[in-house]
Amino acid sequence: MAPVTPGLSAAPRRERPTVVLSMWPDILPDVFPAPLLEELSRHADVLSTRAVSELDADGLAQLERADVLITSWGGVTIDAETLRHAPRLKAIIHAAGSVKGHLTPDVWDAGVLVSSAVEIGAIPVIEYTRAMVFLASHRVISLAGSYRSGTFVPVGGRQGKVGLRVGVVGASRIGAAVIRSLVAEGWTVSAYDPVVGDERLRELGATPLPLDELCRSSDILTLHAPSIPETDRMIDARRLAMLPDGATVINSARGSLIDHDALEAECASGRIDAILDVTEPEPLPAGSGLLQLSNVFVSPHAAGIQGSERALLGAFAIEELRRYLDGEPLLGLVRQEVLGTIA
């Protein structure tokens, strides 16, 4: 028998699969509005429009019959024990970003194909970052805070991107796109990513720098690294102190990348500003100093795909299912060997 190429179905279009949906019930209508559910039904037998969000008796009964599982936020954890209840499962298509929160390595060990719509979900995060870099270049956050306190400065802060240095930490999918877009717009960009390497950073148009030097030379530091042991609180008190006076830290990646106590102390001094879409913990406690500071902007994980945009995830899942059934390579294929370095 000829070997099967990873990401291809061994028996394309031989039969309609049974699909089970697993996500929080309240987001199901966003990810799969009625027209998309109808389209999904053209390719597969959808077992139920009641999304499985817990492994109760009904959820286990659905998994028993699942050939393909389409997941999103709030999907059940799939581990070795869960797989015992899903003997027919051949593929999992994640209509959201990272799969690390709900799929264990047991899934890959069992030979189940995994695909993620992370490329779709990355787009609004890239747009958020670009917008915040521009706002940071004018110190809009701190100036707005000063205005609220009674200080009106018609001309102040920095004057746009001319002469400003942007540092990017992490240059995989989102970080690389941020670098490309900023370079194309004329920003001066440096970057740090030990995994992709200096040659790749140069190809993107960034100047490679060690992390300490990147912190010392960045007027705006934007974070796009995954949450892994090596990156835990990588932006600590020592590195925050390296940032130039008036610098802005932007984090739309993972809250664990920053020491929040140290960040609060630096921002409270007025020396630097911060723009945070992710925190640790999330949400921050109501009394958090970061929520009180006028030069810190905190949004509730809002950079990611939202509202009606979520239908793009459902459309991706349907297209990926079609590719799977037709034996075509999966566009969002997630390989086991990258689990240690992805977000």
Q: Are residues 160 and 202 in the same domain?
A: yes
Query: Do 62 and 94 share a domain, yes or no?
Result: yes
Give start and end residues of each alpha helix (H) in the chain.
Answer: 28-31, 34-43, 57-64, 80-84, 106-109, 118-137, 140-148, 173-184, 198-204, 211-216, 237-242, 260-268, 311-326
How far is residue 87's CA from residue 151's CA, in Å, rounded to a whole number?
Answer: 66
State the pLDDT at residue 7.
46
CA distances in angstroms from 17 to 28, 41, 286, 338, listed in the order given: 20, 10, 47, 28
| Judgement on whether residues 57 and 112 belong to the same structural domain of the protein | yes
Output the pLDDT for position 125: 95
183 and 203 in a common domain: yes
Please give the mean pLDDT across all residues of the chain.
91
| pLDDT at 11 > cutoff 70 | no
Say if strands 207-208 and 220-223 run parallel, antiparallel, or are unpaired.
unpaired
What percent of the chain is modeled with pLDDT above 90?
76
- Say whether both 155 and 175 belong to one domain: yes
Question: What's the total number of domains in the chain?
Answer: 2
Give yes or no: residues 211 and 247 share one domain.
yes
pLDDT tens, residue by residue, 211-228: 999 999 999 999 999 999
CATH number at residue 51: 3.40.50.720
107 and 203 together in one domain:
no
pLDDT tens, position by position, 294-313 = 999 999 999 988 888 999 99
Domain check: are 146 and 262 in the same one? yes
Confidence of residue 4 (pLDDT cuts 50, 70, 90): very low
- Choose between 161 and 233: higher pLDDT: 233
Q: Whole-angstrom Cα distance, residue 22 to residue 52?
A: 4
Domain that holds residue 331: 18-116+306-338
For position 5, what pLDDT does the model report?
Answer: 45
Can you tell me the mean pLDDT for 258-276? 97
**Using 50, 70 and 90 to split pLDDT, how confident is the model at 80?**
very high
Whether residue 315 sits in one domain with residue 197:
no
Residue 159, pLDDT score: 60
- Predicted confidence (pLDDT) per residue in 157-194, tens digit: 566 677 899 999 999 999 999 999 999 999 999 999 99
Per-residue pLDDT of 39-48, as tens digits, reads 999 999 998 7
Cα separation, 162 vs 186, in Å, equals 8
Residue 198 backbone phi and psi in degrees, to 5:
-65, -35
Place 155 in a pLDDT band, splitting at 50, 70 and 90. Answer: low
Query: What value does the mean pLDDT take over residues 126-133?
Result: 96
One-letter amino acid identity for 155? V
Task: Tally the residues of the chain.
Answer: 343
Instruction: Assign 3-class secondary structure to 71-93.
Output: ECCCCCCECHHHHHCCCCCCEEE
- Does one domain contain both 62 and 151? no
Q: What is the pTM of this model?
A: 0.85
| In-domain check, residue 5 | no
Residue 288 lies in a domain: yes
Confidence label for 2 from pLDDT (cuts 50, 70 and 90): very low
In a domain, 2, yes or no: no
Q: Is the residue at 343 inside a domain?
A: no
Q: What is the spatial distance between Cα 303 and Cα 128, in angstroms, rounded to a whole number?
A: 6
- Whether residue 126 is found in the same domain as residue 210: yes
**What is the spatial distance between Cα 171 and Cα 195, in angstroms, rounded to a whole number?**
9
